[in-house]
Amino acid sequence: MSKALFLLQDLARSNLTNARYVKYSNWVKTADEARRGSLGTLTVAQADQYDKAEELITWNTFAPLLRMEKTTRDKTVSEIIKEGLSKDIDEYHDAEGFGLQFEYTIPSPRPYNEHLRQSVRDHPVKYVRDEARDKEILEGDTHVDLALSNSKLLVLVEVKFMSGIQGDVRYDPVRNQFARLIDAGIDASHDRKLGVLLLSPEWGYKSRNRLYCYKLDEYCESMENVRTDIPHRSLSEIADALLGVGWVSLEFAASTIHKRAKELGLLTKEDAQQVQDFYKELRIDITL
């Protein structure tokens, strides 16, 4: 049986919160124990979480960027953004280069919470309407898998493996997760342009059985479609902030990042083999 992996773990302690570091490590540990037949008191669900943990996939895909010097990291990040947005982003480079922040947190936009305070009164479920009356905040922080940012551009990256985007939130039956990312991202971008990317395996997009396939198509077609799903913002506000939205295959992102890291000697022979093993187990074909 193959070994569960937490790639480039030496970089993780300084780039993940301690709680997340422990959580990722435990996913790997419990999977290893289960595969050795020593599950003990662990549940099958705890052991199996490793095989589908999108947070761990995000880390294992993007962590090599942290080892690259600025020029190479910018080039690599730009290739991924261009692939998703179908736009050249040379004008959005700056002297500092792109930074990475895993599990980026954005407060819920105040305009949306004010909108939600009114709209929840018409929620179709009575106990939800009743519960909302006693709540001061109806939508909490938005947690993004990864933020790529510099002084000119903020790109929010959401990684999906087996799951799709959520089609609602607790108090809003029509708020989808991708619209929420755009809405929160507009506030977080400040004077920068905003891009929003969704990463998934090729089969997840090409099968056309996930909500994100259709929402991405709608949002790429027209800013009016974006505004339909975040009606508390004006069309001009959205158009001024949003550079674009798009999809990137995990195959492309992982191959682009890890192949360049290998070429630069940033991955040992053992690292490269572990990378191959990790994606092979997920049935994601990458090229190194």
To the nearest whole percent, how much of the chain has pLDDT over 70?
Answer: 97
Please give the mean pLDDT across all residues of the chain. 93
The string over 196-232, giving b where at least 16 C-beta atoms fall within 10 Å of a residue's C-beta and e elsewhere, is bbbbbbeebbeeeebebbebbebbbeeeeebbebbeb
CA 215 to chain centre: 16
Can you give the pLDDT at residue 112?
92
Per-residue pLDDT of 102-136, as tens digits, reads 999 999 999 999 999 999 999 999 999 999 998 88
> 180 near 168, Cβ under 8 Å?
no
Distances (CA, A) of 271 to 6, 64, 193, 222, 274: 11, 10, 35, 43, 5
pTM: 0.94
Can you give the pLDDT at residue 124?
95
CA 179 to chain centre: 14
Q: What is the mean pLDDT of residues 30-57?
A: 80
Q: What is the 3-state secondary structure (H, E, C) of 119-144?
A: HHHHCCCHHHHHHHHCCCCCCCCEEE
Can you give the pLDDT at residue 37?
74
Can you give the pLDDT at residue 168?
83
Q: What is the mean pLDDT of residues 255-275?
A: 95
What sections of 190-222 are H helices per DSSP? Answer: 202-206, 211-221
pLDDT top residue among 67 and 166? 67
